[in-house]
Structure 1
Amino acid sequence: MTDKPAPLLIKRYASRRLYNTETSDYVTLEDISGFIRDGREVQIVDLKTGDDLTRQYLLQIIAEHESRGESVLPVDVLNDLVRSYMGGGVSVVPQFLQASFEMLRDGQSKVVENMSAINPMTKMPGFEAMQAQQKAFMKAMTGGMPTPWTGAATSGPEASDGSEDLEAIKKQLAELQEKLSKMS
């Protein structure tokens, strides 16, 4: 098992300014959003009290993106989240969301591994550039959530045996190969 790197420590001063302890400079919410998009984990703590403010700031980042029209969360999901907070009992929503995102990341990693192992196109000139474009597209489509997925069509993390994923990948590769041969 690999150890996760320590999160980037951001300290909030009484003036509400945020201080990056790695680079010894002040950062904005947009900077923190960029760190997260780049795959870094962050931890934001109040300098005076030591309280962990990470959740509060992450929610603020999401709210700002949503208010700018960069909607990622459907209204139904937001309503369910509000209901889960307003219910008197213990909610399973946080555990469900965490498990869902873990399954998504794991599924995407497996697709990439399978694609590299079985795909003769990986040796083709220009494949890396095409793969980088697909990664950039998926990063934009997933709201910047870091993902190793290269953009191959899948039926999602709920696919049980991966055979549907493999068939979709083969079909997409055949289409790409056909387009590339027409370009030559």
Structure 2
Amino acid sequence: MAQTSEPLLIKRYASRRLYNTETSDYVTLDDIARFIREGRDVKIIDLKTGDDLTRQYLLQIIAEHESRGENVLPINVLTDLVRSYTTEVQSIVPQFLAASFEMLRESQSKLMENMNSMNPLRAVPGFEAMQAQQKAFLEAMTGGLAAWGKASKQGEKREGASASAEDLDEIKKQLAELQEKLAKLGQ
């Protein structure tokens, strides 16, 4: 299905049935998940009130996939997300997640564009910063933030004194760049 500028409008009736306005038929959550996987944006509204229910249904789709054993989000990440709703960190979490997924999409796109060149990853502007960001994000998504911290500490123990001040300076620089990007997104 081709990506269009308008999202697919799904109306929820009082009976809680979901109605696809393009094809004039009823759809299930699995159908909506398939539309999204195919690259289509969706908007789900309550027919009676006009309320936007998209977020609620997307969370329900994720919950159903997780309950079926299709675990994408580790317990540590889910726990951190729950904690973010009750702390001041809540204000940066949405921007961080959005920036991380956007960076992932951009890097995948650039990688595909440069697939035929000799070393496609080096041609991507800001490759090293992006690589560090993606590594942190993917580690958090696959092993949770606690496991990421443990792995970093174990890596430091293995490397011993070989970690240099230059590495620390580079990490600080990348963190500052990320904070600038997040600040721009928040404006």
Counterpart of 1:50?
50
Counterpart of 2:38?
38
Query: Which of 154, 159, 164 is 2:127 aligned to?
Result: 159
Counterpart of 1:10?
10
Question: In 1, Cα distance between the equivalents of 2:65 and 2:75?
Answer: 14
Change in CA separation of 1:92 and 1:13 when aligned onto 2, cut-off 3 Å: same
TM-score (norm 1): 0.62
- How far is 1:161 from its partner? 7.7
Counterpart of 2:93?
93
Unaligned residue ranges in structure 2 (runs of 5+): 132-187
Residue identity in the other structure for 1:72:
V
Equivalent positions of 1:67-82 (< 5 A) are 67-82=67-82
Question: In 1, Cα distance between the equivalents of 2:81 and 2:129?
Answer: 31
CA contact (8 A) 2:7 2:41 kept: yes
Change in CA separation of 1:52 and 1:110 when aligned onto 2, cut-off 3 Å: same
Question: In 2, Cα distance between the equivalents of 1:13 and 1:69?
Answer: 30
Question: In 2, Cα distance between the equivalents of 1:83 and 1:68?
Answer: 24
- How far is 1:162 from its partner? 8.6
Superposition RMSD in Å: 2.8
- Where 1:26 maps in the other structure, the secondary structure is strand
- How far is 1:9 from its partner? 0.3
Structure with more of its chain in helix, by fraction? 2
- 1:101-144: CA deviation from partner (whole Å, max 9, x where unpaired): 0000000000000114x27xxxxxxxxxxxxxxxxxxxxxxxxx
- 1:52-103: CA deviation from partner (whole Å, max 9, x where unpaired): 0000000000000000000001111101110111226742111100010000
Residue identity in the other structure for 1:159:
F
Determine what percentage of the aligned residue pairs are the same residue: 70
Question: In 2, Cα distance between the equivalents of 1:162 and 1:115?
Answer: 17
